[in-house]
Amino acid sequence: MSTALVTGATAGIGNAFVRRLARDRYDLVLVSRDAERLEKLAAELRAAYGIEVEVLPADLVTDQGCATVEARLADGARPVDVLVNNAGFGVTRRFVTGDIEDEDRMLRVLVRAVLRLTRAAVPGMVERRHGTVVNVSSVAGFVPQGTYSAAKAWVTTFTQGLAAELSGTDVRVVALCPGFTHTEFHERAEMDMESIPDWLWLQADDVVDATFADLARGRVVCVPGLQYKVIVALARHLPTVAVTAVGRRVRAARNRSPKPASAPDTP
């Protein structure tokens, strides 16, 4: 049976990936900071699907946490066939007034962890000539909104470059770029989302289904939802000043809370 490792596995898009992979009969390695929630989820999945589920508590902000997951991914005796880099981190304060340590922690999760975990997993996949990496990015990467947007733009570009490098190896990579998705992320980051219209919201299960559909089609960038496909197309062709203005409006809608907060389990 194949094995998948998912970071940020206990909630939101990560949890939707976990449940889809469990239904598809993958054994699982679940990564999150919350050991208690991981154990509860693992027990539920074992009972429901009869699969092997390994719990790996780790804080990807820290060197030790990242190294723990890297070691598991590089273990040739227990190969991982699918890596989902989903762990997220949100900061609600503006860059110029916020805490630089929060910004740094966000980059550690959204950029450094994606870089290091992908590098730990891919060599073995190439050697086995089989494997899949899903890097959860965001539509925000196409619309300037500060450090979070910049980090997600990096994830998308990194994935595109990696896909070119892996051409002909039978290792597939995709950058998943969802828009607003119903998860715990916004609540845990204390973001006021009531001003976001209903038509912009996606469901986590639909986002995951779109990812696997685009993987099957060989696409490297997945943008779920027609509304977001249009938004991304416009962002790629509108003048920079117009895209930046959109980013300001979106940021104003999200950043109502004066408190910085992290949401390490969802993107």
Q: Which of 50-59, 73-82, 153-162, 186-195 comes out lowest in average pLDDT? A: 186-195
Specify if 262 maps to a domain: no
Q: What is the pLDDT of residues 179-188, one digit of tens each?
A: 998 775 545 5
When pLDDT is averaged across residues 200-216 and rounded to a whole number, the result is 95
For residue 266, tell me if it sits in a domain.
no
* Least confident stretch, 30-34, 142-146, 172-176: 142-146
Residue 153, number of CB atoms within 10 A of its CB: 18
What is the average pLDDT across 28-48? 97
Confidence of residue 267 (pLDDT cuts 50, 70, 90): very low
The pLDDT value recorded for residue 194 is: 62
- Give the residue among 53, 56, 64 at the shortest CA–CA distance from 116: 64
Helix (H, G, I), strand (E, B) or coil at 96: coil
pLDDT digits (tens, 9 = 90+) for 59-89: 999 999 999 999 999 999 999 999 999 998 8
Residue 195 lies inside a defined structural domain of this protein? yes
Does the residue 249 lie in any domain?
yes
The pLDDT of residue 245: 52
- Tens digit of each residue's pLDDT (9 = 90 or more) over 220-252: 999 999 999 999 998 877 766 454 554 555 555
For residue 156, pLDDT beyond 60: yes
- Which of the following is catalytic: 26, 49, 148, 228? 148
The predicted structure's pLDDT at residue 264: 43
**Assessment of whether the complete model's pTM goes beyond 0.85:** yes
The answer to the question of residue 259 being in a domain is no
Mean model confidence pLDDT for the chain = 87
Question: Dihedral of CA 93/35/68/43: which sign?
Answer: negative
> Which pLDDT belongs to residue 265?
42
Q: Are 140 and 88 in contact (CB under 8 A)?
A: no
Token output for 137 = 């990015």
Nearest residue to 203 (alpha-carbon basis) of 7, 20, 2: 20
First-residue to last-residue Cα distance in the chain = 28
Give residue-wise pLDDT tens across range 89-118. 877 777 777 789 999 999 999 999 999 999
Across the chain, where does the E strand assignment appear? 3-7, 27-32, 53-57, 82-85, 131-136, 171-176, 221-222
Residue 26 known to be catalytic: no
Residue 156 belongs to some domain of the structure: yes
pLDDT of residue 151: 96
Q: What is the CATH number of the domain that holds 50?
A: 3.40.50.720
pLDDT at 135 > cutoff 50: yes
Amino acid at 267: P
Q: What CA–CA distance (Å, rounded) separates 197 from 111?
A: 30
Which two tokens mark 160? 């595109």
How many structural domains comprise the chain?
1
Q: Is the pLDDT of residue 191 over 90?
A: no
Task: Please give the C-alpha separations between residue 209 and each of 17, 215, 264, in angstroms, as whole numbers.
Answer: 9, 10, 22
Q: For residues 172 and 133, is the Cβ–Cβ distance under 8 A?
A: yes
Residue 260, domain member (yes or no): no
Residue 184 located in a structural domain: yes
Q: Which alpha helices (H) appear in 50-171, and where do they start and end?
A: 63-73, 100-107, 113-128, 147-165
Domain containing 216 equals 3-254
